[in-house]
Each structure stands twice: as structure tokens, then as C-alpha cells.
A and B are shown apart, each in its own frame.
Chain A
Amino acid sequence: MLAVDLPYWAQSLLRVLGGTVAVLLPAGTIVYLFLFKMMSFMQSRLGPMEAGPYGSMQLFAEVGKWLQKEDLAPDGADKRIYRMAPLVVLVSTFLLVAVVPFGPDAYFTNFDAGVFYMLAVSSISTLGILMAGWSSANKYSLLGGLRAAGQLIAYELPMVLAVLGVVIQAGTMNLQQIVVKQNSDSIFGWDGLGNPYILTQFIGFAIFMIAVQAELTQTPFDMPIAESELVSGYMTEYSGFRFLMFFIAEFATAGVFSLIASVLFLGGWGVPFSWFGWDATTGSVDNWMNVAGPIIMITKMMALSGIIMWVRFSYPRFREDQLQRFAWKVLIPVSLLNIMLTAILKVAF
């Protein structure tokens, strides 16, 4: 428990502030570290070098540039929807971060239907993308928006099914409880490592990461954006700070989904060894895990988003029908099998 007793308004303020930091900080680091630098090194170039040491201030320069631009809307656009769409996408990201636990007491909300809430909220962004595609009055945007809607709905399913395996194993939908279970459980009687579900739910983890890749519309699932054919898909007409919102939402969502994946599969804010402040026998946690937890979470998030970005830079993209076929004919059957297997083993042991 936190030692200081804060009034409710101060707690709320802290939570909003924390949420903003939790969304913007990872987004910024991911953009700088992976989009600017890792991508450049993979492509035998240096990336931004001018703004700040090693171009570390590049992001601020870009944000400054975008904020200065005029807020343009196409003549034929449905202006209100057009202006609202990026906000809807961004709000989905902010709502998503609300259930992620960062430590034993460091969380924004801790409620029992956490997994359910997470899955529900993540699909709000589909709405925003469809709004953007439809209201832009641009044929490329329309194609991109429709592709995005089809893709995001198709990949929502394997994601839900992959998470179900974890829920069955943990026996709870509370994300905090899932973390606790992973750090205190044992794998078939051996408790040296706890039970990070990546080991027992590896198929689920793989499917979850593939579905995340598709939900984020990153290559090889970037048909909705497909810059070489649809110019920029549903974002074609956006510029200035509305484009910035899409941009932030894209990378922040990559970060938040990595956070959720590390909560579900990598043991969340705990490190899997019992002597790191975690006492498996009594279940009590040292207070300093509230400080170490966020750092551990960020580390895990970076590793996972590194993988997401790595795949993004090295793969060509699927065609729309191949992508749908992959979701319905491969991912969903495999994840159903995974659920069946998990349930059988759960009952057997």
C-alpha cells in the first residue's frame, strides 16, 4: 500500500498524468529507438543526426513542425467526422493503458473484467479508422478504411482466442491477478521460474503477437496503409496535428499492446525469480516493486516492440485476401485447438 494518503482528486490527477506519460513516453522512445535508429541501421544509413545528440531531439522537431501546420480538411469531407476520427483512435489507446498494472500498487484501475475491457476497448480504434476512411471523401482513403475494418475485425478474433488460453490457465480475467499467478505458480510442479505463460502458452503468445501486428496495421499486415498503392490509406488526407494524432496512436498502441502482451505472457511487472522481491510462499511483495515494476515493464515492452518493428522492416506485405485467409483458416483454428488443449490440461492437472 502507498504510504501517503491522497485525496481522491489528487489520485485522479496523478492517474491521468500517469496515463499520459505511460502512453506518450513509450511511443516517443519506440519512434526514436526503432523507427528512426534501428530501421536506419538495418538499412545501412544513420537516420536523424542533426537535432540533438544523435538526433535524439528529432521527435520534438517533428512534433513542432506538425503543430505549426494548418488544419486542413478536404472540400467534400464530412468535416465533423473527419476531425473526430484521429481523436477516437487516440482515445482507444488511452483507455487501453488504464488496465495495465505496473506494480503491486502501481496501477490505474484494478478491476476483475480487465481482459474483457482490454479487448473491448482496443476495437474502438477500428471505428476511428473507418470514420477517417469514410469521411475523407477520397477513394484511396475509402479503400484503406474498408480494408482496415475488414482486417481489424478478422484479427480481433484470434487475439481474443489467444488470450482465452491465458484466462483459462490463470482462472481470472483480472490482469493484476494474472501477473500474480504467473509469478507464484509452478510449471507442472517446478516453481523455480514461476509460470510465465509464454512457456506454457507459447502458441497463444505467437498468435497474440501476430494478431497485434495486424491490429497495428504494421507490415506484413499493412494493406490498409499500403503506401505504394493506396498512398497512405485512410490517413491520405490528414496533415498537421491530426496526422500527428494518428502517428502517436499508431506507435503508442504498439507500446500498449506490448505492455499487455508482457502482462499476459511474460510475467508483467514481476521478474520470474523468486528472490527478486517476490516471496512465492507467502505471496507478499516488497514495496519497492512499485518502483522497479514500471522499469521492468518498460524493458519487456521494448523487447516486444523491438520484435514488432523488426518484422515490420524486413517483410513484404500480404495481399488483402491472403491476409483474411491467414486469419480465418490458420490463426483461428490453431487458437481454438490451443484453447482445447489448455482446457484439457487444466482439468487433468
Chain B
Amino acid sequence: MTDLVDRQKLSYIAAQAADARLNVELETEGMTLNIGPQHPATHGTLRIIVRLDGEQVVWAEPSAGYMHRGYEKLTEVRTFPQVTALVNRIDWLGSFANEVPFILAAEKLMEIEAPPRAQWIRTILFELSRIANVSLFLGDLGVQLGAVTPVFMAFRDREHVLNLIEGATGGRFHPNFDRIGGLKDDLPAGWIAETKQVMKKLRNFCTEIENLLFGNEIFQSRLRGIGVIPAEVAKQYGLSGANLRASGVDWDLRRDQSLPLAYDKVDWKVWTHPDGDSFARCWIRLQETRESTLIVDQLLDQIPSGPIMAKVPRIIKVPEGEAWVSTENPLGEMGYYVVSKGDLGPFRVKIRSASFNNISIVPWVLRGVYVPDVISILASLYFILGDIDR
């Protein structure tokens, strides 16, 4: 009797084993696809290794460093005023915003503060570089999803902003305008009136993009519910900027910390979205661009008069100490940890750039999505290669 039961059991096990073997035999081999370093979707030299099962991603890993330029090390052999020329090139689409936290850190160490007018102009240029940066994102989003027209509209209107930045600073891409204790120059004549007109144009551009892209059914169906990042996960991976706010975390360094910038003087809103999907990330950026134009408008209305440079020695020696300043840059939180030994240049600078942390979530968020969604998720996470590799 027991023998019979055992034999039944055995045959059952054998059948199971045969089934299992069959399953193993039917299992197909995955394909490893190398997206980048030269690939149209990575807008730069980011390499993402994905293992595919059909069109589904099983495993993904970003491999950064193809454009590493060693800025942290280079700052050690520059004087403090020279560093701004380097850090301009980190996030090259909003370069002025890169200078501000470094200068603020140096000022913190020297215990000086820029005069109010300089703070105002800094804030205006900061927001202009945010607009220049994010408006290109809004256009590029279309290209990533196959619509080629929006990017040209973005370039058309971004040009006005770049002209403004050039008019004020002399540099379209790399202003190198911020100085310890203030700014290089005052605003040129007629700049304020022109800026107001351009801000109106930019608001029109935002509405255009909203109608052309965000209202499109295909666009929505490609982005809604794709690449959802819950707030907890977003915090764990150290996301910042619009990516974090799209997950419903109400966190904006412009509002949440008191720096010598003029953000607390104007009335503005921090946008958040509860969904945390790709659409939310793009939508947040669109709203923030519009909000930025409103901030600039208000700042222009109440810009104070006065000097643009505090009293600083001709040869700048920063006293010994350590300082950490971070600001809400176009891509997210960007901070500088500056260590000074009392020399002409910094002893050590640690740069915390937003994109590096923002793409660290890629292995988590890409698992299980389809290849077309890889592109839309990467586009919505929005990274600049210079900001990843520094």
C-alpha cells in the first residue's frame, strides 16, 4: 500500500520535473542592448545597459563617466573667482545657475553678503537660466516621443532668453558673470522692458506646448502611468527638483531655505503633482517654467537701486573653513561643499549635481518597462550629461 502511494508520488514528482524541464527549455535567452554612449536618446554620452526579454526590460544599469572632466579636481588649482568659469560648464543649458551656489558658499565663508540689487539680478538671471534650460526640455520631449515640431518652437523662443542673458552678461552659454560679493556689471539700459516682453512670449510658448503636446491623446497615453516613482522611493534615491515634486513631495529649496536671494520677496507657488509618473514630471516642469516667468516679472517690478558689488578686497583670500550651500537649480538640488585653507583657491570642492542622483533611480524605475518607455522615462527624468559627469 505504502509502496503504491510512494510510486504515485514518484510519478507525480517525475511529471513535475518533466514539466519543469520543459519550462526551462522553452525559456528564451535575453538580449543585452547597449543604449549609448552614442545614441540619439541619451542626448550626450550616457550609456545604459539593458537586458531585454522581447521588448521588456529585465534589468537596466546606467553607466556614467564617458564625459568626466574632473571639475572637482580642477577647482583645486584655480583661484576662487576663476572657478565660476569652470562650473558654468556643468549644466550647460542653465549655466548661470551653476555659479550661484558656489559664489554663495564662498561668500558664506568670507561672511559678506551681496547688496540687494545684486541679489535681485542674481535671482532674475537664475530664473532666466531655468527658463532657458527647461524650455529646451519641453521641446526635446516631443522629439523623444517622435514629434519633431515642438523642438523648433522651443529653440525659437529659447533664443530670446539667451539673447537676454547675453545682453546682461555678455555670454550666451557661459556667462561667467557672478562675482564674490556681487556681480560683474549692472543691467544694460532697456533690458528690463525687453525682458518683460520676452516673458510674455515665453508664457505664450508654454501655452503652445500645452496645447500641442500635453493635450495630445497619444502624448498622454505614452506618459500617463509610465515610470511611476512613489514619494518614498524618490526620497530614498535622493531625487530632487521637479522629479521629486512630481511624486507629491512639496520640497523646493528656493522657498525652504533662506539664502541671500530674492525669492522671499515675491509671491509664487511651488507646484506638486500626486501621480509621480512621467506625465507628472513633464507637467511640473511646464508649470514651473510659467511660474518662473511670473517670478521674473515681479522681480523686475520691484528691483531696488544701489551698488551691485559689496566691499571685497582686490585679491580674494577666503578664510579657513568649510561651507555647504545648495540651491534649487533647473535640474534639481545643486550644492557645493567648499573647503578653504585660507589660500587663493579652494582646498577641496565637492559638487553635488542634480542629474547624477536623478539617474541613479534608473535601475529601479526601468525594471519591467518596454523599450519605448525607456526613452520616455529617461526623457521625463531629464538629465544633462555635463551635470552627471562633471
Chain A positions near chain B (C-beta within 8 angstroms): 39, 42-45, 139-140, 143, 219-220, 222-223, 226-231, 313-322
Contact = CB atoms under 8 A, between A and B. Distances in A.
Interface of B: 31, 33, 35, 39-41, 55, 142-149, 152-153, 156, 212-213, 216, 218-219, 221-222, 370-375
A44 B159 CA distance: 13
Contacts of A317: 145-147, 218, 222
Contacts of A231: 39-40
B140 to A, nearest CB: 9
Given A45-B152, A219-B146, A228-B143, A322 B221 contact: yes
Given A42-B149, A314-B212, A316-B216, 18 more contacts: A43-B153, A45-B152, A219-B147, A222-B146, A226-B372, A228-B143, A229-B371, A229-B374, A229-B375, A313-B148, A314-B149, A315-B146, A316-B145, A316-B213, A318-B221, A319-B221, A319-B373, A320-B55
Contacts, number: 81
Given A315-B216, A316-B216, A229 B149 contact: no
27 contacts: A44-B152, A44-B156, A140-B33, A219-B146, A219-B147, A220-B146, A220-B218, A226-B372, A227-B40, A228-B40, A228-B41, A228-B146, A228-B375, A229-B35, A229-B371, A229-B375, A231-B39, A231-B40, A313-B148, A315-B218, A316-B142, A316-B222, A317-B146, A317-B222, A319-B221, A319-B372, A322-B221
B36 to A, nearest CB: 11
Nearest to B32: A139
Nearest to B142: A316
A151 to B, nearest CB: 13
A143 B55 contact: yes
B147 A315 contact: yes
A318 B218 contact: yes
Contacts of A227: 40
A229 B377 CA distance: 12
B280 to A, nearest CB: 17
A96 B219 CA distance: 34
Contacts of B147: 219, 314-317
Nearest to A219: B146
A315 B156 CA distance: 19
Contacts of A313: 148-149
Contact of A228 (B144, B149, B156): B144
A318 B376 CA distance: 12
B284 to A, nearest CB: 19
Contacts of B218: 220, 315-318, 322
Contacts of B153: 43-44
B176 to A, nearest CB: 30
A42 B147 CA distance: 12
Nearest to B147: A316
Contacts of B33: 139-140, 143
Contacts of B156: 44
A334 to B, nearest CB: 17
Contacts of A140: 33
Nearest to A314: B149
B373 A316 contact: no
B222 A321 contact: no
A230 B41 CA distance: 9
A81 B190 CA distance: 65
Contact of B222 (A39, A44, A319): A319
A51 B52 CA distance: 45
B374 to A, nearest CB: 7
Nearest to A142: B31
B370 A319 contact: yes
A77 B209 CA distance: 43
Given A45-B152, A313-B148, A321 B216 contact: no
Nearest to A317: B146
A229 to B, nearest CB: 4
A93 B148 CA distance: 27
Contacts of B370: 319-321
A13 B47 CA distance: 54
B76 to A, nearest CB: 39
Contacts of B55: 143, 320
Closest 10 CB pairs of A and B: A317-B146, A43-B152, A316-B145, A316-B147, A229-B375, A319-B372, A316-B146, A228-B144, A228-B41, A316-B219
A237 to B, nearest CB: 15
A332 to B, nearest CB: 19
Nearest to A229: B375
Contacts of A319: 221-222, 370, 372-373
Nearest to A322: B221
A317 B221 CA distance: 10
A313 B212 CA distance: 12
Contacts of B145: 228, 316-317
Contacts of A318: 218, 221-222
A320 to B, nearest CB: 6
A227 B222 CA distance: 16
A282 to B, nearest CB: 50
Contacts of B222: 316-319, 322
Contact of A229 (B41, B148, B216, B221): B41
A43 B372 contact: no
Contacts of A314: 147, 149, 212
Contacts of A321: 370
Contacts of A223: 372
A226 B145 CA distance: 8
A34 to B, nearest CB: 13
A25 B156 CA distance: 34
A220 B217 CA distance: 11
Nearest to B219: A316
A320 B149 contact: no
Given A315-B216, A322-B221, A43 B373 contact: no
Contacts of B219: 316
A315 B144 CA distance: 12
A229 B152 CA distance: 20
